Amino acid sequence: MFKSLIKKSIVFFLIVFIQFNAQSQNAVKLVSRKDSIFLYYNQQIILKARLSEKIQSFNIQQNSQVINGANYQLINISAANFNKFELVANVMGSEESIACESDPRINGLKVVRNTIGQSHSLLNNAIYERKHDWLLSFDAVYPKLVINAEASFNYSIHFTGTELIIRFKPNYYQKHRGLSYFNPEQYSVWKKPVVGWCSWFAYFNKVTELDVKKTADVLSNKLAPFGLNYVQIDDGYQQTPIGMPETWLETNKKFPSGLSALSKYIQSKGLTPALWTNVAFNDSAAAYAHKELFVRNENGNPAIGNWIGYSMDGLNPKAIQTLITPVYKELNKEGWQYIKLDALRHLKYEGYNSNSAYFLQKKANRNEAYRNIVRAVRNETGKDHFLMACWGIRPELVGIVDGCRIGNDGYSYAGLAQFNSYNNIIWRNDPDHIELSPKEAYRSCVATSLTGSLFMLTDKAEVYENSKLIEAAKRSIPVLYTQPAQVYDVDPSRSALIAQADVEMSGSGPRPFDASSSTTTGLFSLEINKPFENWVVLGRLDDRDQTISVKDLGLNDQKEYLLFEFWRKEFRGIVKKQFNPGTIDSNFHCQVFCLREKQNHPQLLATNRHISCGALEIESMQWNNRQLNGSSTLVADDVYTMYIYEPEGYSNTKFTALNADVLKNEKEGMIRKISLRSKNNTTVNWAIDYIAN
């Protein structure tokens, strides 16, 4: 009788499920037979699961609901009489899929998690498929659920327990997260490093051609070898009042050589030219002479607003052809390969939202008009050049811009926790320019690098010539391509209000949905997955968390880990379950810890090249037949140091390195320190042979 009821409930459940989704644009279908369950989306199988018993032994329930346009699909699987069962499954994703956390945990530290390569974290409970924008998650308590990333972007799921809830959310970022313009099949995120210098906080609008050239000279020598590639001129080169295209293309007296010559000069230094522009129009005479090119008020005159002046009319192709196309076509021709597009918040708020009647009268969508302006810039710059939107969160421009300045003027790592789920899924987050000040240099560089965000310095050239603080930048660049390991924001206080961007009428300061200057965590972790090893790097930017649980970092708290602090180059011992990070050194105002699973043989702890502790420059590494060997890419004339953990019984060594001079090979306690240097940028093959006593 009981089995008969279960069979009937399953049949009914499947009929309801299929009927409901047959009406959906993106069809979801669940099929169960014998001991297996299959989930289809858009006629493609995305989940196949095998249960430990026949399907008749389980109670399977389903609930489908559309809430505010977002489709929620829930499947509940439980064994009869609360018996434990086992589920083994595979999820099929594309090359843009990631293993991740779907929702914040109730307990545990708040840590902003990112990953290089496919994540193996024990915190993962979901698969996010960016290419088709769906999220498939599994409700289970650590460590009852294990997700392993395998070859060809397939994921194996192993669950043991009495109940499992599977949640499927199609159109996750588009519908569930409110980013209506997110259509990932139409664009890819920018994957190359974006590391550069911006003139703004160094010189503001007083910047001169000589300032830019001098800075390019210094950067090409001091930081370009380590991964800095862009030199961006900000406000101060153009004519004023800003108006017709010539005010952008014909420079003022502080830039006598002109933009084309300056672009060539920057390129001659091995750097990439980058330029600030904006969408404001302040020439009233030109605006009234060409009224038809602008949004107009009830009197038929060009509407004027603070910060934006007169707003270009994105509904009028002639406005775009006259005011946008000539500027960016010429800048592209001159070699400007990074465009920072400013005043976008003012065009939207003071320009379009404040004049909504103009668009209503034309029965037009003002967001589409707005996108037309920026899309025209994109069309001229080309997809192979970086386009950065400035400033404040711009949900209307998703899919057009490569990066977005997520907060106010001045660097703040808070936004990297408030919009962590956007970074390298929606666009590249820009926390604003980094000043190498004694208090903030190391913290800012750490947060930006570990999150894989946009990294732009903004100091006078003398800082890079004379200050020891340049070390913070050297060891944090280039920024490696990361992906978020959480598809929720660790601090959701800002992103939860993003819909309000459509009603604001003033952009004079930060709005409730823009990134703020403070946040709920100072912990940023980067999980690194390489063919030769997996490890975790943790950045601690303040002292609010006094005890760090390895479980909160996604590690197995039954294993032992080697702990190394990067800035102090200090081995902190062998840890299990948790560790005390200690007092933050006032020389750095932050800490960077590297955690590697302890082996029973010598192993690399870290290198000094980059805060990723070897992820940047180590191309290969292995332990075999009492030999630790690998290959590392060295920067010319930069001392490269490896820190090796050597347990008892491994003290008699022979070290060899090809293409580099060995400067130091010494041991203190259980740590061997080996320093190399090469006169050229080169790859060095090295080996440590451990000779039996």
Q: According to the model, what pLDDT value does residue 56 have? A: 84
Q: In what order do the strands lie in the sheet with 230-233?
A: 428-430, 403-405, 386-389, 338-342, 272-278, 230-233, 195-198, 455-457
- Report yes or no: 199 and 456 within 8 Å, Cβ to Cβ: no
User: What is the rounded distance in angstroms from the CA atom of residue 347 to the CA atom of residue 115?
Assistant: 36
| Whether residue 163 is found in the same domain as residue 209 | no
Residue 478 has pLDDT above 70, yes or no: yes
| Whether residue 151 is found in the same domain as residue 213 | no
| 245 domain residue, yes or no | yes
**Average pLDDT for the chain:** 94
Residue 367 has pLDDT above 60, yes or no: yes
- Name residue 227's amino acid: G
Quote the tokens at residue 336: 């400007």
Altogether, the residues listed in the chain come to a count of 693
Strand duo 272-278 + 230-233: pairing: parallel
| Whether residue 648 is found in the same domain as residue 684 | yes
| 162 domain residue, yes or no | yes
- Report yes or no: 84 and 161 within 8 Å, Cβ to Cβ: yes
Q: Where are the alpha helices (DSSP H) in 475-579?
A: none
User: What is the rounded distance in angstroms from the CA atom of residue 256 to the CA atom of residue 275?
Assistant: 17
Average pLDDT over residues 514-525: 96
Quote the tokens at residue 173: 């970022």
User: What is the rounded distance in angstroms from the CA atom of residue 510 to the CA atom of residue 514?
Assistant: 6
Residue 578 has pLDDT above 70, yes or no: yes
- Report yes or no: 533 and 523 within 8 Å, Cβ to Cβ: no
User: What is the rounded distance in angstroms from the CA atom of residue 189 to the CA atom of residue 404?
Assistant: 12
| 539 domain residue, yes or no | yes
pLDDT band at 3; cut points 50, 70, 90: very low
> Under the phi-then-psi rule, with left for phi > 0, alpha for psi from -120 to 50, and beta for the rest, what region is 309?
left
| Whether residue 537 is found in the same domain as residue 445 | no
| Whether residue 570 is found in the same domain as residue 678 | yes
In degrees and rounded to multiples of 5, residue 115 shows phi and psi of -140, 145
Q: Any idea what DSSP says for residue 479?
A: P
| 627 domain residue, yes or no | yes
Quote the tokens at residue 557: 């708290």
User: What is the rounded distance in angstroms from the CA atom of residue 286 to the CA atom of residue 524?
Assistant: 50
pLDDT digits (tens, 9 = 90+) for 586-622: 999 999 999 999 999 999 999 999 999 999 999 999 9
- Report yes or no: 476 and 446 within 8 Å, Cβ to Cβ: yes
- Name residue 22's amino acid: A
Quote the tokens at residue 460: 């006078």
Average pLDDT over residues 314-328: 98
pLDDT band at 201; cut points 50, 70, 90: very high
The share of the chain scoring above pLDDT 70, in percent, equals 96
User: What is the rounded distance in angstroms from the CA atom of residue 624 to the CA atom of residue 506?
Assistant: 64
DSSP-assigned states of every residue in 662-683: EEEEEEETTEEEEEEE-SSSEE
Which of 145-154, 425-434, 458-467 is predicted least confidently? 145-154
Which residue reads 């006094």 in tokens? 546
| Whether residue 68 is found in the same domain as residue 8 | yes
Picking from 134, 155, 170, the residue at the C-terminal end of a domain is: 170
Q: According to the model, what pLDDT value does residue 80 have? A: 81
| Whether residue 467 is found in the same domain as residue 540 | no
Range of the domain at 155: 2-102+120-170
User: What is the rounded distance in angstroms from the CA atom of residue 271 to the CA atom of residue 400?
Assistant: 25
Q: Which residues of 619-639 are buried (b: 16+ CB within 10 A; e: fewer)?
A: eebebeeeebebbbebbeebe
Which residues fall within 8 angstroms of residue 496, CB to CB, at 6 or more apart?
none
Q: Any idea what DSSP says for residue 433?
A: P
Neighbours of 192 (CB within 10 A): 13
DSSP β-bridge partners for residue 49: 37, 89
Which residues fall within 8 angstroms of residue 636, CB to CB, at 6 or more apart?
225, 678, 679, 680, 681, 682
| 80 domain residue, yes or no | yes
- Report yes or no: 390 and 511 within 8 Å, Cβ to Cβ: no
Picking from 487, 502, 517, the residue at the C-terminal end of a domain is: 502
pLDDT digits (tens, 9 = 90+) for 626-684: 999 999 999 999 999 999 999 998 988 899 999 999 999 999 999 999 999 999 999 99
pLDDT digits (tens, 9 = 90+) for 39-66: 999 999 999 999 998 888 888 888 999 9
pLDDT band at 140; cut points 50, 70, 90: confident
- Report yes or no: 656 and 612 within 8 Å, Cβ to Cβ: no
| 181 domain residue, yes or no | no
Residue 19 has pLDDT above 60, yes or no: no
| 390 domain residue, yes or no | yes
Picking from 502, 519, 549, the residue at the C-terminal end of a domain is: 502
Q: Which residues of 447-474 are buried (b: 16+ CB within 10 A; e: fewer)?
A: bbbbbbbbbbbbbebebbeeeebbbbbb
| Whether residue 90 is found in the same domain as residue 148 | yes
Average pLDDT over residues 550-559: 97
pLDDT band at 149; cut points 50, 70, 90: confident
User: What is the rounded distance in angstroms from the CA atom of residue 212 to the CA atom of residue 267?
Assistant: 12
Using alpha carbons, select from 80, 224, 236, 90 the residue that is nearest to residue 162. 80
User: What is the rounded distance in angstroms from the CA atom of residue 589 to the CA atom of residue 522?
Assistant: 12
| Whether residue 72 is found in the same domain as residue 145 | yes
Quote the tokens at residue 286: 């030109």
Quote the tokens at residue 279: 């969408």
HEC per residue, 608-631: CCCCCCCCCCEEEEEEECCEEEEE
pLDDT digits (tens, 9 = 90+) for 439-450: 999 999 999 999
Residue 5 has pLDDT above 70, yes or no: no
| 490 domain residue, yes or no | yes
In degrees and rounded to multiples of 5, residue 123 shows phi and psi of -85, -15
| Whether residue 568 is found in the same domain as residue 490 | no
- Report yes or no: 196 and 232 within 8 Å, Cβ to Cβ: yes
| Whether residue 439 is found in the same domain as residue 585 | no
Using alpha carbons, select from 414, 436, 315 the residue that is nearest to residue 372. 315
Quote the tokens at residue 46: 């995305």
Residue 150 has pLDDT above 80, yes or no: no
- Name residue 434's amino acid: I
The share of the chain scoring above pLDDT 90, in percent, equals 90
Strand duo 112-116 + 483-484: pairing: antiparallel
- Report yes or no: 146 and 157 within 8 Å, Cβ to Cβ: yes
pLDDT digits (tens, 9 = 90+) for 338-358: 999 999 999 999 999 999 999
DSSP-assigned states of every residue in 43-74: TEEEEEEEESS-GGGEEEEEEEEEETTEEEEE
User: What is the rounded distance in angstroms from the CA atom of residue 71 to the CA atom of residue 56?
Assistant: 28
Quote the tokens at residue 466: 């004379």
Residue 24 has pLDDT above 60, yes or no: no
Residue 253 has pLDDT above 60, yes or no: yes
Instruction: Report the CATH number that the domain containing residue 469 is assigned in CATH.
Output: 3.20.20.70
Q: According to the model, what pLDDT value does residue 145 have? A: 85
- Report yes or no: 131 and 99 within 8 Å, Cβ to Cβ: no
End-to-end Cα separation, the chain, in angstroms: 73
pLDDT band at 9; cut points 50, 70, 90: very low
pTM assigned to the model: 0.94
Which of 69-83, 139-153, 605-619 is predicted least confidently? 139-153
Q: According to the model, what pLDDT value does residue 13 have? A: 42
- Report yes or no: 348 and 396 within 8 Å, Cβ to Cβ: yes
| Whether residue 318 is found in the same domain as residue 405 | yes
- Report yes or no: 89 and 156 within 8 Å, Cβ to Cβ: yes
Question: How many structural domains compose the chain?
Answer: 3
Q: According to the model, what pLDDT value does residue 27 have? A: 80
Q: According to the model, what pLDDT value does residue 692 have? A: 78
